[in-house]
Amino acid sequence: MSWFRIALRSIQQRGVASLLTMLSMALGVTLVVAVLSIDGVLAESFRNNASLGYNIIVGAKGGQEQLVLNTVFFLSRPIENVPYTYYLEFLKQPERDRLQRDSYAARGAEVWRETAELQALSGNLGLSGAALDAVAAPIEQSLVPDMTLPRHPPVELKGRHGKYGQMTELAIPLCLGDFYGTFRVVGTTPALFDDLVYDIERNRKFEFAQGRNFVWRSPQHGYFEAVLGAKVASDIQLVELHLNVAGNAAARALVTERANWSRIDERDGALVVALGQGTEESDVFLSLRRLQKDAEEGKRQLDDEQQQALTALLDPGVVLRRSQRNVTLGDAIAPAHGEPGGHLHQRKFTVVGILKPSGTPNDRAVFINMEGFYLMEDHAKPVARPKPEEAAEGPPLSESEQRAQMAEDRRRQQEVERAADPEPLPAELREVTAILLKVDVMFAPGIENYINEGQQAQAALPVAVITRLFEFFVGPLKRVLLLLTVMICVVSAISILVSIYNSMSERRGEIAVMRALGAGRGTVMGIILLEATLLALGGGVLGWLLGHAGVLIASPWIEEHTSVHVGFLTWTTLPTEMLLIPGLIVLAIVVGVWPAISAYQTDVAKSLGK
Amino acid sequence: MLQLRQVKKSYAEPDGGRLPILDIPLWEVKDGEQMVLVGKSGCGKTTLLHTIAGITRADSGEISIDGINIARLSEAGVDRVRANKLGYVFQTFNLLAGFTALENVLLGMTFGGGRRDPKRARHLLERVGLAHRTHHRPTALSVGEQQRVAVARALANRPSLLLADEPTANIDPRNQQKIVDLIRETCREENVALIIVTHAPEVAGQFSRVDKLEEINLVRADDPPLEK
C-alpha cells in the first residue's frame, strides 16, 4: 500500500464530499484557463494586428492613439486629412512624377510652356500682350475651371525624389470616411495587397479567397473596383427580388434608375434585383410610385413603353419571390458618405476580390481604388476660390450669385460622379487620411521626429502605440480577472480544507489504527497533505479539461470574431497553465497543513478505542 | 523476547496529582510463547498493551522487545519497532472501512519500511479462510470475517509479538473458539509470541500461562478508576 493508494482510498471513501470539493476546484481552474485563453486569443489577435508590415503611420496633427485606432483598427473618426502632395514626398522620383501627371501644377507648367512659346512666337510676329492673354486664357480655363494656374515652372514638384522617398521602402495612402453597412470603406492603392507583407515572420501578404486585387484602372470597371474583407463578405446579406418583368428593357432601365441595387440580371425567367446594402424592398416601390406620381403631375415625361413598364412594375404580383444571399464578386456596392447611415454615393464600385480571413482588422473593411474614391461626390478637396474682395474682376458676388455658383459646383461634381469613365482627380484636389510607411528601422525614429517637428503632419509608431493601448486597456482587466480566478481557486482550496478538516473527527480512528500499525506522525501528516494535493490536482485536471473543452466549443465563435484559430490546446498559454501545477500543489499544501497538523497531533491511545 | 523492568505509568489528575496505573518490577515473555493476561476491568491491561506497543510512553523503566529498549527510543524509533516487530489485534477490529480486505492486510506491511508483499497478504487471507473475500470491504464481511482480516493484518509484517486486546469480545460464542484457534495456530506457524488480554475464562483456560495483572503489577487493581 503506497501513500498514494491510501490517500486515494480516503478520497474515494468520502466520494460525494470529495467530488464536490474537486468540482469547486475545477470551477476555479476552468475560469483560470478561460481567462488565460481569452488573454492568449487577445494577445494573438494583438500580435496579428501589431504585425502590420509597416512601421510608421503618418496622418494629420492630433492624437497618436486616434491616428492608430483609426488607421489600424478602423475605429474612431479620422482626425483630418493631409495633402496628397505630402504623400508624394514619400515616393521616389518615377512614381512621384507619374502621380503628378494629372496635377494642376503639371497642367500649369504645360500652359506656362505654351505661353512662353507663344511669347517667343509673338515677338517674331509682333503681337501684343493682350492678344497673347486672349489666346492663353481659354486654354487655361479649359484645363482648370476653378483655379488660377501657377504661372511658373513647378520645378519644386517635378523632377526629384520626394523628401523621404529614398528612405521609404513602401508608402501606402489610405482615404477614410465612407462606410459600407457598418464596415469602413478604405480608399487605397493596389500596393496594400500587392506589395505589403503584413506578417513579416511568416512572409505573408493578404491573400484572396476569391477574385483578385483591384487595379489602378481596369478596362471593365475603370477606377471603380473594390475588394471585401472576409468578415464583410460573410456578414453582409443582400435581398434579391425576383420580378416578373423578364425581357422588359424599359422596366429594367426604370429599376436601374430608381433602386439602389447591387446587381441586376435575368435568371429563371425573372428580372433579379439584388438590392444594395441597407435598402428595403419598400424603398424601391416607394421610389417607383413617386415616379408614377411625377409622371401623372407632368413633372416627368414617360413614353408609352416606360409607362407600360412602370405599370408592370407596380403590379401587386410583380415580385415572384424573394431570396437572400451574401455579397459576392460582381456585385456593385455604393459607399455611404461620412457615417454608416450617411447618404449613398451614386458611384458604385464592383467587387472584384474577397480576402481570406487574416485575423487583422482588414477582415472588417472594404477596400476601394483610391482613384475611384476621389471621384466620388464630396471627396475632392474644396478648392479655394478667389474671395470676392480679392477677385480681380467686378464687385463681390451677391447671395443669389453665390447660390448659383454652389449649384454649379454641385452640378459639375455630379457630372464627374455620373461620368462613365471620368478623368482622375488632379493631385491638388486630393487628400489622404493616413500614409502607411515601411522604412528601415534605422531611419524610423528619425523620420518620425522629423515629421512630428513639421507643421503639416504627425507620425506615429503603431506597434508602440498599440502596445501602450493594449497594456492600458487589457492589462489591468486581465490582472483583475486573473486575481478573481485565483481568488476562486483559493476559495476552492479552502473548501478542500473544510472537507478534510470536517472528516478528521471521523478519521481519527483510522489515523490511530495506522499509527498503531507503525505509521509515524510524519507519515499520517504526509498522507493528509497528499490527499489535499490529489483533491486539488484532480480538480485542477478536471477544470483544465473543462476549460479547454469550453475553449474548443467556443473556437468557431472566437475564430469568426477574431480570426484567431484556437484548438483544444493553445500553445501560447500552455507555459502559463503549467504554472497551475506547482501553484495548486502549494495551495493544497497550505490548506492541507491544518488538518495534517491535526492528524499529526492525534492521540493514538484515546482515538484507538479498544 | 519481551522484558519489562521497573515500568511505571501514571496519569495526571485534574487536581494536579498523579494516578498510578502500572508499576511492574519485572515481567517477561519468551520467543514464541503464548500467554493470556487477565485482570479486573480498569486494572490497566490495555494500558499495559499500549505501553508495550509504544503507543503510550511509560513514565520510567525499560521495555525491551527483541533486545531493543523502546523506552530509550525517539517516537520515530518506537514507530519503527511497532511497525516491524509488533502486531496488534483490537477488540473492535479497527479495519479501515474504505479499504478492501487485501488492502487492510497490505496496510499492515506499509509502514515497516520493508517490501510490500501482496503475495504474503493473499497467503495470510487464505490462511484465515478468506481467499474468496480479498476484494470485499469490511462492511461486506461478517464480524468473524472482519476479525480474521484483523488477525491477518496483525501478522502481515512478520512480527515477533502479537498483542490481542480481547479479540473475541465482540464475536458470537460459536466463532470465538475459531478465532482463538486461528490466532494461536498462525502465531505458532509464524513463531510469533502472543499476549492475549481476555475476560473469558474458557479462552484463558486453554493457555498454559495465564498472568493476572494484579499479581505482576504492584499497583493494586482497585486503585485506578475505570480505565479500560
Q: What is the pLDDT of residue B8?
A: 92
pLDDT digits (tens, 9 = 90+) for A111-168: 777 777 777 777 777 666 666 666 666 666 655 555 554 544 444 445 788 888 888 9
Residue B55 C-alpha, separation from nearest chain A C-alpha, in angstroms: 6
- Angstrom distance (rounded) from CA A273 to CA A263: 6
CB-based contact A434:A176 (threshold 8 Å):
yes
Residue A1 C-alpha, separation from nearest chain B C-alpha, in angstroms: 6
Query: Which has the higher per-residue pLDDT, A373 or A110?
Result: A373
C-alpha grid cell for residue A4? Answer: 498514494
Residue B43 C-alpha, separation from nearest chain A C-alpha, in angstroms: 15
Nearest CA in chain A to B96: A510
Report the mean per-residue pLDDT for chain A: 83
E-state strands within A53-207:
56-59, 82-83, 168-180, 183-188, 197-199, 204-205
The mean-pLDDT minimum among A342-351, A377-386, B5-14, B22-31 falls in: A377-386
State the pTM of this model. Answer: 0.61
Q: What is the pLDDT of residue B66?
A: 92
Q: Does the pLDDT at position B105 exceed 70? A: yes
B208 Cβ contact list (under 8 Å, min separation 6): B34
Averaged pLDDT for residues A96-112: 76
The reply to whether residue B153 touches residue A517, judged by beta carbons under 8 angstroms, is yes
Q: Distance of CA A592 to CAs A499, A538, A586, A595, A597, Å?
A: 10, 15, 10, 6, 9
Helix count and strand count (H, E) for chain B = 8, 9
- Angstrom distance (rounded) from CA A177 to CA A365: 12
Query: Which has the higher per-residue pLDDT, A79 or B163?
Result: B163
Q: Does the pLDDT at position A342 exceed 90? A: no
Amino acid at B137: R
Q: What is the pLDDT of residue A390?
A: 46
Amino acid at B218: L
pLDDT digits (tens, 9 = 90+) for A198-219: 877 778 899 999 999 999 999 9
Nearest CA in chain B to A513: B94
Please work out, in degrees rounded to the nearest 5, the angle formed at the alpha carbon of residue A86 by the alpha carbons of A82 and A92.
145
The reply to whether residue A13 touches residue B97, judged by beta carbons under 8 angstroms, is yes
- Angstrom distance (rounded) from CA A444 to CA A441: 5
Q: Does the pLDDT at position A98 exceed 50? A: yes
A137 near B CB under 8 A? no
What confidence category does residue A320 fall into, taking pLDDT thresholds of 50, 70 and 90?
A: very high
Residues of B in Cβ contact (< 8 Å) with A609: 90-92, 94
Q: What is the pLDDT of residue A391?
A: 47
Nearest to A519 among B79, B91, B116 (CB): B79
Nearest to A610 among B109, B112, B165 (CB): B165
Residues of A in Cβ contact (< 8 Å) with B116: 1-2
C-beta atoms surrounding A603 within 10 Å: 12
Q: What is the pLDDT of residue A240?
A: 94
- The β-bridge relationship of strands B86-89 and A208-211 is unpaired
C-alpha grid cell for residue A482? Answer: 486573473
Query: Which has the higher per-residue pLDDT, A43 or A170?
Result: A170
At A472, phi and psi to the nearest 5? Answer: -65, -45
ipTM: 0.90
Residue B97 C-alpha, separation from nearest chain A C-alpha, in angstroms: 8
C-beta atoms surrounding B154 within 10 Å: 27
Beta pairing partners, A439: A168
Q: What DSSP assignment string belongs to A150-195?
A: P-S--TTTSSS--TTGGGEEEEEEEEEEEEETTEEEEEE-THHHHT
pLDDT digits (tens, 9 = 90+) for B46-87: 999 999 999 999 999 999 999 999 999 999 999 999 999 999
- Interface A–B counts its CB contacts (< 8 A) at 89
Residues of B in Cβ contact (< 8 Å) with A522: 76
Share of chain B above pLDDT 90, in %: 53
Cα(first)–Cα(last) distance of chain B, in Å?
A: 26
- Angstrom distance (rounded) from CA A500 to CA A229: 57
What confidence category does residue A564 fall into, taking pLDDT thresholds of 50, 70 and 90?
A: low
A15 near B CB under 8 A? no
What confidence category does residue A605 fall into, taking pLDDT thresholds of 50, 70 and 90?
A: confident
Nearest CA in chain A to B83: A518
- The β-bridge relationship of strands A365-369 and A183-188 is parallel
Q: For A28, how many CA atoms within 13 A lie in the half-sphere containing its CB?
A: 28
- Angstrom distance (rounded) from CA A398 to CA B60: 126
C-alpha grid cell for residue A330? Answer: 460582381
Residue A519 C-alpha, separation from nearest chain B C-alpha, in angstroms: 5
Task: Classify the phi-psi angles of B125: left when phi > 0, otherwise alpha if psi is within -120 to 50, otherwise beta.
Answer: alpha
